[in-house]
Amino acid sequence: MAKKSLLKKTAQFKAGLAVRRKVLGAKYTDASVAAGEVDPFMADLQQFVTEYCWGTVWCRKGLTHKTRSMLNLAMLATLGRTHELALHVRGALNNGVTKDEIKEVFLHAGVYGGVPAAVEAFRVARQVFAEDKR
C-alpha cells in the first residue's frame, strides 16, 4: 500500500512544481519532492521551496526565467553555495543563458563578491559544462 503524500498540492504548489521541473529538470525535481512526499522532516522544506520559491517568486511576471537564473548564479557564486550553484548552472542553460553569459555573470560576481568566489564559480560551471555537453 502506497503511503499518503505529506505535501499539500495547492495550485501554487502545482505551478511551482511545473516551473521547478522546467528549470532544474524533472529527474532532480521529482527526486527532491519525493523526499517530502513521505518524510515528515523534509515535507515542510519541499512544501516551502516548491510553493514559495518556485510557485510565488519564479512565477512572477516581473523578470524572465533567464534573468532570474542569472541573478541566482551571481548570488550563489558570491555566497559560495557550490552544490546549489551547479544545479542552477544547469538550470540557467535550460533557461537559455549561454556559457559566455554565465562567464560574464561570474566575472561580475568576482568584482562585487570576491575573486575567490568567482574562481570557485568558474570551477563549478566548467565541471557542469563538461557533464552537460551542450
Residues 47 and 71 in one domain: no
Same domain for 46 and 71: no
- What domain count does the chain have? 2
- Per the structure, the complete domain to which residue 20 belongs is given by 11-57
pLDDT of 24-72, one tens digit each? 999 999 998 988 888 899 999 999 999 999 999 999 999 999 999 999 9
In which region does residue 63 sit, left (phi positive, over 0), alpha (psi from -120 to 50) or beta (all else)? beta
41 and 69 assigned to the same domain: no
Domain-embedded: residue 3:
no
118 occurs within a structural domain: yes
Lookup result for grid cell 557533464: 131
In a domain, 6, yes or no: no
* Domain co-membership, 120 together with 70: yes
**Is residue 2, in this structure, part of any structural domain at all?**
no
pLDDT at 1 over 80: no
pLDDT at 134 (0 to 100) = 72
Give phi and psi for 39, each to the nearest 5. Answer: -105, 110
The CA distance from 79 to 134, in Å, is: 26
* pLDDT for res 4: 81
pLDDT at 5: 86
Claim: this prediction has a pTM higher than 0.95: no
For residue 113, what is the domain's CATH number? 1.20.1290.10
Q: Are residues 51 and 92 in the same domain?
A: no
What does the pLDDT read at residue 133?
A: 74
In-domain check, residue 1: no
Percent of the chain topping pLDDT 70:
99
Q: What is the DSSP letter of 54?
A: I
Question: Which of 71, 95, 81 lies closest to 20, judged by CA?
Answer: 95
* Domain co-membership, 25 together with 76: no
One domain, residues 70 and 125: yes
Task: Identify whether 123 is part of a domain.
Answer: yes
Task: State the pLDDT at residue 30.
Answer: 93
Region 91-109 average pLDDT: 97
pLDDT of residue 2: 60
Q: Which helix (H) or strand (E) holds 50?
A: none
- Tell me what pLDDT residue 26 has: 95
According to DSSP, residue 95 is labeled T
Closest CA to 88 of 63, 48, 58, 108: 58
